[in-house]
Amino acid sequence: MIRVEGLTKQFGDLQVLRGIDCTVKASEVVCVIGPSGSGKSTFLRCLNGLEEASGGQVLVHGVSVHQPRTDVDALRSEIGMVFQRFNLFPHMTVLENIMLAPLKVRRLGLAQARGRATVLLEKVGLIDKIDAYPNQLSGGQQQRVAIARALAMQPRIMLFDEPTSSLDPEMVGEVLAVMRALAGEGMTMVVVTHEMGFAREVANRVIFIDQGVIVEEGDPAVIFSSPAQERTRAFLGKVL
């Protein structure tokens, strides 16, 4: 589904990604962990072309993301992204937030877009908030709407960048539950997270990034209990 080869990224003199190689198969859940500033968000943003690569390449279903001829908008509509901040449109209701892209980008009819939104709101447990505005919702509810909004485009891949990091602790569980259900349905997911419990339980594979390189990757059971690299051990020692 995703193949990353020799990906490098620099901002001016700052070398953020120093040669990343990895693949993500269909229906795989890959959790990316690592210290703050190690390049996790930049890596994720390179996967859907939100960030230009400095070198190397990213292939999504065989399509090279950073080729000038690639239709990045079309590609991005196949890849849903959920951010730390929920980024809902404040002047639109929950329903309008979810229907917007399917109407504008997918050219769905009103009834069809509404039907799809309703199904998704049932799924994330927020059908009773269909006509609410974002500021009437808790952080956890807003993030679940953001996930529903991304799913409304029927993406083949979902990218999550620390989706629970700005939530109050009591709301983390409800968002992780939605993500766990999505993983259970076979969605291909790349999740940057500090939720080690989630990574251990849901990920098929964990990637530890430090200073712009993949230091170690593998089965969560192995990474969390007996990491091979000293840097991984040191990091896990601080967060576990």
Contact assessment for residue 137 and residue 143, using Cβ atoms and an 8 Å cutoff: no
By CB under 6 A, is residue 163 in contact with ligand ADP?
A: no
Which of the choices ligand ADP, Mg ion, none does residue 143 contact, using the CB cut-off of 5 to 8 A by kind?
none
Tell which one of 40, 66, 116, 205 touches ligand ADP (CB under 6 A): 40
CB of 148 to ligand ADP, least distance (A): 24
Q: Which of 14/240 has CB closer to ligand ADP? A: 14
Q: Return the sign of the alpha-carbon dihedral for residues 221, 226, 231, 233.
A: positive
C-alpha distances out from residue 38 to 47, 85, 97, 210, 214, Å: 16, 19, 32, 5, 10
3 state SS of 181:
helix
- Beta bridge partners of residue 206, listed in sequence order: 31, 218
By CB under 5 A, is residue 41 in contact with Mg ion?
A: yes
CB of 6 to ligand ADP, least distance (A): 18
CB of 166 to Mg ion, least distance (A): 12
Of residues 42-81, which lie at the interface with ligand ADP (CB under 6 A)? 42
Which range, of 40-48, 79-87, 108-116, 141-149, touches ligand ADP by CB under 6 A?
A: 40-48
CA 105 – CA 9 distance, rounded (Å): 30
